[in-house]
Amino acid sequence: MLDLIKSVFYEIKSYFVPEKILYEITGECKKCGKCCNYMYSIDTYTEKEFKIMQMLFPKYKRFYIKGKDEFGNLIFACKLVTEDGLCSDYKNRLKMCKNYPAKWVTYNAKLHEGCGYKVNVKSFNDYLKK
């Protein structure tokens, strides 16, 4: 009887669960350097916060504030990118640079025009079609 109640409960609950969407990143780097010259920080909103971040993590001194986007978000760029779009300190680049872009993200990321990577939407229905 308890199993029946659990089954009914989970069946009803399933109607209230939103569909989860994953975003898969595919492709390869074209070495254009656009991603290094136009990036965001999820939790840095002001210039003061950025300065504090640089004090706490000296490796972030390689970045500078390039400006703000149309929504007022800070845009960062790396000082170590050459005119050819390559890293001048490739051997010692940060982990976030080595891992860019993450293969799976939980938000619809936007990549630069001409980027060799592509964001593919993977919904639950896509998995059912296989």
**Which pLDDT value is given to residue 66?**
92
Q: What is the pTM of this model?
A: 0.68
Domain membership flag for residue 15: no
- pLDDT for res 12: 75
- 11, part of any domain: no
Any domain includes 2:
no
The tokens for 77 are 């760029």
For the chain, residues with pLDDT lower than 50 are none
pLDDT of residue 79: 96
The encoded tokens of residue 54 equal 């640089």
Range of the domain at 86: 20-129
Quick one: pLDDT at residue 40? 77
Query: Which two three-digit tokens encode residue 119?
Result: 């964001």
Residue 107 pLDDT: 64
Does some domain include residue 31? yes
Inside any domain, residue 55:
yes
Q: Has residue 13 been placed in a domain?
A: no
Give residue-wise pLDDT tens across range 52-84.
989 999 998 999 999 988 878 888 999 999 999
- Count up the domains in the chain and report the number: 1
CB 64 within 8 A of CB 79: yes
CA dist., res. 106 & res. 22, Å (int):
6
Burial class of residue 78 in the structure, from the number of CB atoms within 10 Å of its CB (0-12 exposed, 13-18 middle, 19+ buried)? buried
Instruction: Tell me what percent of the residues of the chain surpass a pLDDT of 90.
Output: 22
Q: What is the pLDDT of residue 61?
A: 94
User: Does residue 79 sit within a domain?
Assistant: yes
DSSP collapsed to 3 states, 91-112: HHCCHHHHCCCCCEECCCCCCC
On whether the CB atoms of residues 104 and 95 are closer than 8 A, the answer is: no
